[in-house]
Amino acid sequence: MINILLTNDDGISPATIPTINSILHLKEEPYNLDISLRVIIPDRQRSWISKQISIFDELHLEENVKLEGLDHPISTLTGTPADCVNIGVYNFNNKPDFVISGANVGSNVSWGHFLSSGTVGGAMEGLISGIPSLALSCPYTTEKRTTEEFQSALKIFPKLLYKFITHKHEEIKMLSVNIPLTKKSIFYQPITLSKQTYIKLFDETEKNTFKHRPKRLLSHVIEPDIGTDLWAKNHGIPSVLGISRYGIPLAIRTTGRWLAQTKLLHVPKDGEIPDEYRL
């Protein structure tokens, strides 16, 4: 039995049921894995909270929350994604073998947003606990962000998750994955983090009162370097960032070789695997 723990930073969202369904698909053909899935998600929106742990609050877990269209049980917690993971790891029997955080409604690209992400923070909490972990995000532009849109985008996710579970890598202990809602490939580009970050976060609405700015105003506008997560996002290509057991992003070559070995690598139109990803 493979025990999987799922959290996110959006709480109940249009991505919740598609994410659960995509993981449970591992029980079916062609994967046929014997998995058990525990779902513990925040009871409300907890984006941009990174890996915060609630050290001063009492946290309440509500079990067997029902979602229309979903038979699988879920639990909600009055805490952060990292809280959800820590409780899921240490306060239940059957410690998880893998932690998944997501799918995030939106992207987690560039180092500023990567470090701020509650989705990434949830996966990092699993990594700190010594558990292979995966952060999953779904960038969008003008899509409607419906359950159906996420269901369609995440059709390619079970294969990646299957490979992550069954083809373990000595260096890769965590993945940060971005699958665009409107994707132009069913394979994955190995990437590095873009240097883009955010700038001014708050506007003063009245004296000594500040409000978070609209998302469209938060980023420096730069031309992303080829091979970065932002470049892949802008081209609609699913991307994977490999991360070491110490939370350090790995070289593109390392992640690219793993993707090539597992036949998940996005390659140019000529179909040739780049030399740097060959053994």
For residues 217 and 178, the model is more confident at 178
Name the pLDDT band for 214 (thresholds 50, 70, 90).
Answer: confident
Tell me how far apart the alpha carbons of residues 67 and 245 are, in angstroms, rounded to a whole number: 35
**Per-residue confidence (pLDDT) for residue 142, from 0 to 100:** 78
Place of tokens 């879920």: 74
**Per-residue confidence (pLDDT) for residue 199, from 0 to 100:** 82
Task: Work out the widest C-alpha separation in the chain, in whole angstroms.
Answer: 61
Name the pLDDT band for 197 (thresholds 50, 70, 90).
Answer: confident
Name the pLDDT band for 195 (thresholds 50, 70, 90).
Answer: confident
Residue 211 phi, psi dihedral angles, 5° rounding: -130, 140
**Per-residue confidence (pLDDT) for residue 89, from 0 to 100:** 98
Q: Tally Cβ neighbours within 10 Å of residue 208.
A: 6
Q: What is the DSSP letter of 274?
A: P
35 neighbors 28 (Cβ within 8 angstroms): no
**Is the per-residue pLDDT at 272 higher than 70?**
no
**Per-residue confidence (pLDDT) for residue 267, from 0 to 100:** 82
Pairing of strands 98-105, 70-77: unpaired
Place of tokens 């998940």: 264
**Is the per-residue pLDDT at 98 higher than 90?**
yes
Per-residue pLDDT of 133-147, as tens digits, reads 999 999 988 778 899
**Per-residue confidence (pLDDT) for residue 278, from 0 to 100:** 55
Per-residue pLDDT of 54-76, as tens digits, reads 999 999 999 999 999 999 999 99
**Which of 35-61 are b and which e, b meaning 16 or more Cβ less than 10 Å from the residue's Cβ?**
bebbbbbbbeebbebbbbeeeeeeeeb
Closest CA to 233 of 107, 75, 129: 107
Q: Tally Cβ neighbours within 10 Å of residue 12.
A: 17
Entry pTM: 0.94
**Is the per-residue pLDDT at 189 higher than 80?**
yes
**Per-residue confidence (pLDDT) for residue 219, from 0 to 100:** 66
**Per-residue confidence (pLDDT) for residue 196, from 0 to 100:** 82
For residues 228 and 279, the model is more confident at 228
Average pLDDT over residues 82-103: 97
Average pLDDT, the chain: 92
**Is the per-residue pLDDT at 99 higher than 50?**
yes
**Per-residue confidence (pLDDT) for residue 58, from 0 to 100:** 97
**Per-residue confidence (pLDDT) for residue 218, from 0 to 100:** 63
104 neighbors 131 (Cβ within 8 angstroms): no
Average pLDDT over residues 255-260: 96
**Per-residue confidence (pLDDT) for residue 279, from 0 to 100:** 45
* Assigned CATH for 2-277: 3.40.1210.10
Q: What is the 3-state secondary structure (H, E, C) of 151-198?
A: HHHHHHHHHHHHHHHHCCCCCCCEEEEECCCCCCCCCEEECECCCCCE
Where do runs of H (alpha helix) occur along the chain? 16-24, 81-90, 111-116, 118-128, 147-153, 157-166, 229-234, 252-261
100 neighbors 66 (Cβ within 8 angstroms): no
Q: Tally Cβ neighbours within 10 Å of residue 110.
A: 23
* Most trustworthy range by pLDDT among 49-63, 141-155, 262-276: 49-63
Tell me how far apart the alpha carbons of residues 23 and 157 are, in angstroms, rounded to a whole number: 8
Q: Tally Cβ neighbours within 10 Å of residue 79.
A: 25
Tell me how far apart the alpha carbons of residues 37 and 56 are, in angstroms, rounded to a whole number: 29
Tell me how far apart the alpha carbons of residues 46 and 79 are, in angstroms, rounded to a whole number: 8
Name the pLDDT band for 269 (thresholds 50, 70, 90).
Answer: low
**Per-residue confidence (pLDDT) for residue 221, from 0 to 100:** 60
